[in-house]
Amino acid sequence: MYDEILLATDGSDDAAAAADHAIDHAERYDATLHVVYVVETRTAYDNAIVDPETVAGNLRKEGRETLAAVEERAETAGVETTTEILEGVPQEAIENYAAEHDVDLILLGTQGRSAFKRALLGSTTDSIVRSRVAPVLVVGEDDD
């Protein structure tokens, strides 16, 4: 049913819950698990106080650590995994990756770590659900 599964993670608790589901689905369907972390290029750091490249570098480092943790868990479950750090507007980067890799299912956390959360879904998750690039499974930290 699913050959290529995409997990978009930002290291949040909801994304960790989505990772559990992604690994389970990939194991169940013998699918390749693609795990991506997006470094947001639209920055609020447009003043001289914070260097945007320093922020991006820190986010890339955090991304590598987040991807490594998911990859380790997936490998323990015997799931073939590929990881990539993307840059850009998160929903656009995720949608483009999904389309380029013929993804059959996208898993996302209900809300990410952004301080700007919507009432029910994070803005990236909301956009991906509406994109129709592939079926989307949205997972919250308290979901079973």
pTM of the model: 0.86
Residue 77 burial (CB count, 10 A): 12
Position 143 pLDDT exceeds 60: no
**Mean pLDDT score, 116-142:** 74
Q: How far, in Å, CA of 21 to CA of 70, rounded?
A: 12
Q: What is the pLDDT of residues 15-36, one digit of tens each?
A: 999 999 999 999 999 999 999 9
Q: What is the pLDDT of residues 33-90, one digit of tens each?
A: 999 999 987 665 555 566 778 888 888 999 999 999 999 999 999 999 999 999 999 9
